[in-house]
Amino acid sequence: MSVILRLMLEFFKTGLFSVGGGLATLPFLYEMSDATGWFSHADIADMIAVSESTPGAIGINMSTYAGFKTAGVPGGILASLALAAPSLIIILIIARFLAKFRENKLVEGAFYGLRPASIAMITAAGLNVAKVALVNLSAYGASGSLTDLFVWKAILLAVVIFVLQRRFKWHPILLIAISAVVGVIFRF
Amino acid sequence: MKELLELYWTFVQIGCVTFGGGYAMLPILERELVDKRGWTTMDDLRDYFSIGQCTPGIIALNVSTFIGEKRRGIAGALAATVGFLTGPIIIILVIAAFLQNFAQLEVVQHAFAGIRVCVCVLIVQAVMRLWKKSVVDPFTFALYLIVFVLHAFSGYVLPVKLPAAVLVLIAGAAGILMSTAKNRRTGKAGDAK
């Protein structure tokens, strides 16, 4: 079997079985690393760092990287498409189903419970980012002083961004770009 | 064809700025798809996120597929999904080919420390926008708190970390039970009249 086909098959499987966000692909990536040797465990650790500093989820990034390393640019593209294919097919089926059964009592009931659960998880995701972006636990641990717990310049930036979006309706993409520049200038 | 291209290009842009697990894309989707183009509603977006959490694959991709499908069927789903993938694929190809220590570059680290602050605010903004129609009564508020604690602190309150998909399935089942119970109660009240 050609390398590209094997790549696509492996990443298709990963896409099919990893449920719930990019990090869910990690266990599959470690298995694939052991089974194929396409990339090392150190590559995975590096890719986690890269994924945190580029757009796109770790699963997509790893598939692009592994595909490129083993089979060049076509490998990178095809492996990524293979990763996305299972969810694409499943969502297409669900979208059809949803259009038909939207008014169904059971579906309505399920969403009644899903909605608060969904935003609870979004809140938790926000908390996770805030833990890295707005507080400095190690400085707090070292000094024990509450003023060291918060990264004040980050909190100031957060307040400014919040106001710019809420009150002045600045575009989120513009706000992301500004935050990157502020981060570089003020050495966040 | 023109609309497919527009769909593709919109998601290329969204894919290039989606940092931090897909949720930060919500305010961007709201601005680009709900406010500017009227392609979908905030309620639909929220439901797509709910479903995207319990189906295989990356949430941001699942949401892209949903929106594309709603707009232009299968072709639209492909255009949106491939569009979303385009940016990340090109970026990783460039990094893999030229920038071995990309994530260790000082300027990159500072830029992304800044971006993470913005992502935080965007996520808070997303929660605020969705709150009113999701947390509508004591039951949904309780469900919100329970899922939040289990998801954010499951390592502390439970011996094992519950996967998001399991929480979503439990919440869906709880919703069905609660709304059935409610319907039965109001049904009986109706009979009594």
Domain boundary among B133, B149, B172: B133
Q: Domain residue spans in chain A?
A: 3-101, 105-185
Mean of pLDDT values over B112-139: 87
Inter-chain touch A20–B164, beta carbons under 8 Å = yes
User: What average pLDDT does the segment B6-21 reach?
Assistant: 85
pLDDT surpasses 80 at A56: no
Q: What is the mean pLDDT of chain A?
A: 85
Per the model's pLDDT, the better-predicted residue between A74 and A144 turns out to be A74
Contact A175/B at CB under 8 A: yes
* Domain co-membership, B121 together with B162: no
pLDDT at position A133, please? 85
Of B47, B74, B131, the CB nearest to A111: B47
Cite the beta strand spans of B22-179 per DSSP E. none
Flag whether residue B131 sits within 8 Å of chain A, measured between CB atoms.
yes
pLDDT for res B178: 94
Instruction: Tell me the C-alpha distance between A125 and A147, whole Å.
Output: 25
A128 to chain B: which residues are within 8 Å by CB?
A: 152
Q: Judge if B71 and B144 occupy the same domain.
A: no
Q: Are residues B129 and B183 in the same domain?
A: no
Nearest CA in chain B to A16: B56
The residue from B133, B150, B181 where one domain ends is B133
| pLDDT of B192 above 50 | no
B88 shares a domain with B17: yes
DSSP string covering B35-46? IIS-SS-HHHHH
pTM as predicted:
0.78
Domain shared by B93 and B69, yes or no: yes
**Number of separate domains in chain B:** 2
A89-99 residue pLDDT tens: 999 998 888 88
B83 and B7 within one domain:
yes
- The two tokens of residue A152 are 């004040």
**pLDDT (tens digit per residue) in B128-171:** 888 888 899 999 999 999 999 988 887 677 777 777 778 888 99
Which domain does B153 fall in, by range?
Answer: 135-193
d(CA B42, CA B33): 9
Q: Enumerate the residues of chain A whose CB falls inside 8 A of the CB of residue B88.
A: 54-57, 60-61, 64, 80
Residue pairs between chains A and B whose CB atoms are closer than 8 Å:
353
| Separation between Cα atoms, residue B26 and residue B39, nearest integer Å | 14
